Amino acid sequence: MPTPPAPVDLETRLGAILSDHAQLEGPLLPILHAVQAEWGYVPPEALPIIAEGLNISRAEVHGVVSFYHDFREEPAGRHMVKICRAEACQARGGHGVEAAAKARLGVDWHGTTADGGVTLEPVYCLGLCATGPAAMIDGRVVARVDEKRLETLLSEVGA
Amino acid sequence: MSKLKIYVPRDAAALAVDAEKVAEAVLAEAKIREIEVELIRNGSRGMLWLEPMVEVEKDGVRHAFGPVTPHDVEALFDTDWDDHTLALGPTEEIDWMKRQTRLTFARVGVIDPLSLDAYEAHGGLKGLRRALGMTGTEMIDEMKESGLRGRGGAGFPTGIKWDTVRLAPASQKYIVANADEGDSGTFADRMLMEGDPFSLIEGMAIAGICVGATKGYIYLRSEYPEAIHTMNEAIRIARARGVLGASVLGSGFTYDMEVRVGAGAYVCGEETSLLNSLEGKRGVVRAKPPLPAIEGFLGKPTVVNNIISLGTVPVIFEKGAAHYRDFGLGRSRGTIPIQIAGNVKFGGLFETAFGTSLGALVDEIGGGTATGRPVKAVQVGGPLGAYFPRSKFDTPFGYEEFDGQGGLIGHAGVVVFDDTADMLGMARFAMEFCAVESCGKCTPCRIGAVRGVETVDRIARGDASAIPLLTDLCDTMKDGSLCALGGFTPYPVMSALTHFPDDFHANAKEAAE
């Protein structure tokens, strides 16, 4: 489980991220993506610094972080498993894969396993709709996921 | 002896079923056998049930094999890529390919997507070069004559949108490509960006030069990591080769562009939420007017077009508006890349002129269900599209034709369900999805979707009195929402209720007995 960044690290790295994005039009989303890539979530301590850097209110930054499904306000597990819940995957047996994943990991959507190993998130369409059910594991897309393949994939991430 | 040319796709749909391991196996096996191989990582041909589909060039003709697993590679080499059970014959001779009219997707699956030379060798940049010799008015006339309408689903004439931006006086204008392809059952944008990214760049450059915009953005969803990577690489190459930059192909016109990654919000596929998101705000829908064409990104005139609309622009300029316009049906001109998905035997991308019937797409081209069971329903146009029963399968694929049947073509995704589908469950899911993804601006969408789930649950428990309530709620959502999320969620819900009443009444009857 990642630990919150030390204040000095946070300020230094965040300062660099802010200056990297200083020339962009509408820089907030790219900044938040960079922050999440750095720490795995958007640490609450980062919000006032981002707000000051962009000359907007802290509430505005919080509003954006909380609006988008991608941005996490607390750390996730070491591995991220996203399973597609959308219609085309449902038509190909997605419900069975969802249920198997929840049972295997012992968590519901948005949950993290007790050992901090895996976080389970729903995703609404990975664009693999003719080869579903589809999933994304640590940013890598996988398709034709039946319960057997799911078992292999989860074993690979130590679950 | 010349090198053996082998193609292994790098499209996400191929990578998701181990195409990378197949590519590795090909190289390893060739090394063992001391055969010189030129491995080309192409896009996908769109026959997704055959992925990973490997092609081998023999006497200038590409032969297909699929679906290939890493374990098959040794045997394929043993047969000299000839008489193997996975052999499909010459790719272009496969019925699925022969029945298509590929204009927008002409190069997808054919070329290495990141080879600008291959792009040019297959007609790329001809459209842009022609456009550079035209005036803005001539370019608009070409677009209007082509009959191209917004392929995101709204179907607004692209030429008219461009003209509005062109005529709007402003110090800065923008081109925004909507690659927030969130509709389930759609993947045409993804396949185009991964398989022929330069066509999108060329289309956006033509749009920019036409309307006087020097800057473009592709708003690309985070669920598409391969597309993000390929587009970024293609933009870098285009810039290095002078296709983008201070003087596009030496013309003196300035146009450059970049990719912006979304953050998992379905509603950002709606153009005004997309613009807010691009500006770094919550992806909340804006009221129209003002139109984005007048006040768009950062308040400046902005063309917001779908990827397929922009990706079709180069072929319109390359072959002329009339060539494109002469395909199609009624007011739906040209071709449409239809995505056949869900529980279907032959799923994939099928580009054809407008006018093919839904039944032909599902039964003949799609080959019926993958499970072999009867088709129960087909959802056309994503999560906001209607469920069509078999009785409506004679509907021809066209904007007005689907509208006339209480549906929409949307982004042309066709999702097939077999007879095990529970349509009450699908109606519930439509409401649940709307509740999860609502931006919160309009009450009928924000609250209505939550109440919708509860109301469907009441029906599921046998309370038939909740059915008129659901109908009433759908009317309110339809009339009282600014954008298509709240406004169109009633389509799947009401079509499920209307066409599959047994799924809604079964429990009510049981409860009464």
Nearest-CA distance A19 → chain B (Å): 16
Do residue A86 and residue B184 have CB atoms under 8 angstroms apart? yes
Of the partner residues B16, B279, B343, the one whose CB lies closest to the CB of residue A134: B16
> For residue B3, what is the DSSP state?
P
Do residue A30 and residue B260 have CB atoms under 8 angstroms apart? yes
> For residue A8, what is the DSSP state?
H
A53 and A90 fall within a common domain: no
pLDDT of residue B512: 46
pLDDT above 70 covers what percent of chain A? 97
pLDDT of residue B513: 45
Predicted confidence (pLDDT) at residue B59 exceeds the cutoff of 50: yes
Q: Specify if A73 maps to a domain.
A: no
Q: Specify if A20 maps to a domain.
A: yes
A30 and A83 fall within a common domain: no
Predicted confidence (pLDDT) at residue B103 exceeds the cutoff of 50: yes
For the segment B336-354, the average pLDDT, to the nearest whole number, is 98
For position A107, which CATH number holds?
Answer: 3.40.30.10
Which of residues B202 and A7 earns the better pLDDT score? B202
A98 and A61 fall within a common domain: no
| A69 lies within 8 A of chain B by CB | yes
Which CATH class, in words, describes the domain spanning B116-325? alpha beta
Average pLDDT score, chain A: 95
Q: Which fold has domain B423-512?
A: de novo design (two linked rop proteins) (1.20.1440)
Segments forming the whole domain that contains residue A30: 7-67
A102 and A134 fall within a common domain: yes
| B344 lies within 8 A of chain A by CB | yes
CATH of B328-418, one of 1.10.3720.10, 3.40.50.2300, 3.10.20.600, 3.90.550.10: 3.10.20.600
**Structurally, how many domains does chain A consist of?**
2
Query: Which of B 346-375 lie inside 8 A of A, CB atoms?
Result: 347-348, 370
pLDDT tens for B207-223 read: 999 999 999 999 999 99
Average pLDDT score, chain B: 96
A103 and A145 fall within a common domain: yes
| A58 lies within 8 A of chain B by CB | no
> How far is C-alpha B400 from the geometric centre of its chain's CA atoms?
19
For the segment B27-45, the average pLDDT, to the nearest whole number, is 97
Q: Confidence band (pLDDT; 50, 70, 90) for A3?
A: low
pLDDT tens for B168-206 read: 999 999 999 999 999 999 999 999 999 999 999 999 999
For Cα atoms B75, B79, B80, give the angle at the middle one, nearest 5 degrees.
115
pLDDT of residue A6: 78
A95 and A36 fall within a common domain: no
Predicted confidence (pLDDT) at residue B236 exceeds the cutoff of 60: yes
Q: Which fold has domain B4-94?
A: Glutaredoxin (3.40.30)
Predicted confidence (pLDDT) at residue B6 exceeds the cutoff of 90: yes
Q: Specify if A15 maps to a domain.
A: yes
For the segment B278-286, the average pLDDT, to the nearest whole number, is 97
> How far is Cα B397 from Cα B151, in angstroms, rounded to an integer?
13
Of the partner residues A67, A128, A134, the one whose CB lies closest to the CB of residue B265: A67
Of the partner residues B189, B282, B347, the one whose CB lies closest to the CB of residue A67: B282
Q: Confidence band (pLDDT; 50, 70, 90) for B2?
A: confident
Set of chain B residues whose Cβ sits within 8 Å of the Cβ of A141: 12, 15-16, 225-226
Predicted confidence (pLDDT) at residue B24 exceeds the cutoff of 90: yes
Do residue A143 and residue B17 have CB atoms under 8 angstroms apart? yes
The SS3 assignment for B100 reads coil
Does the fold of domain B328-418 match that of domain B116-325? no
pLDDT of residue B1: 58
A98 and A152 fall within a common domain: yes
pLDDT tens for B117-140 read: 999 999 999 999 999 999 999 999
Beta strands B87-90 and B174-179 are unpaired
A63 and A86 fall within a common domain: no
- ipTM at complex level: 0.96
Do residue A128 and residue B182 have CB atoms under 8 angstroms apart? no
Give the 3-state secondary structure of B427-496.
HHHHHHHHHHHCCCCCHHHHCHHHHHHHHHHHHHCCCCCHHHHHHHHHHHHHHHCCCHHHHHCHHHHHHH
Do residue A70 and residue B222 have CB atoms under 8 angstroms apart? yes
Q: Confidence band (pLDDT; 50, 70, 90) for A14?
A: very high
Residue ranges covered by each domain of chain B? 4-94, 116-325, 328-418, 423-512
Separation of first and last alpha carbons in chain A: 15
Do residue B260 and residue A90 have CB atoms under 8 angstroms apart? no
A101 and A56 fall within a common domain: no
A129 is in an annotated binding site: yes
A125 is in an annotated binding site: yes
Set of chain A residues whose Cβ sits within 8 Å of the Cβ of B340: 130
A82 is in an annotated binding site: no
- Single residue among A67, A89, A104 that ends a domain in this structure: A67
Q: Which of A125, A137, A146 to mutate to test the interface with B (most CBs of B within 10 A)?
A: A125
For the segment A67-96, the average pLDDT, to the nearest whole number, is 97
Q: Compute the count of residue pairs across chains A and B with CB atoms less than 8 Å apart.
A: 159
Q: Confidence band (pLDDT; 50, 70, 90) for B507?
A: low
> How far is Cα B263 from Cα B267, in angstroms, rounded to an integer?
11
A87 and A143 fall within a common domain: yes
pLDDT above 70 covers what percent of chain B? 98
Are the beta carbons of B267 and B283 closer than 8 angstroms? yes
> How far is Cα B217 from Cα B204, in angstroms, rounded to an integer?
9
Query: Which of A 86-105 lie inside 8 A of B, CB atoms?
Result: 86-92
Predicted confidence (pLDDT) at residue A86 exceeds the cutoff of 70: yes
- Single residue among A67, A88, A110 that ends a domain in this structure: A67
A60 and A110 fall within a common domain: no
| A62 lies within 8 A of chain B by CB | no
pLDDT tens for B429-464 read: 999 999 999 999 999 999 999 999 999 999 999 999
Structural tokens at position B234: 């293609």
Looking at the DSSP assignment, which residues form a beta bridge with residue A15?
A: none
Predicted confidence (pLDDT) at residue B65 exceeds the cutoff of 90: yes
| A64 lies within 8 A of chain B by CB | yes
For the segment B34-55, the average pLDDT, to the nearest whole number, is 98
pLDDT of residue B508: 55
pLDDT tens for A104-159 read: 999 999 999 999 999 999 999 999 999 999 999 999 999 999 999 999 999 999 88
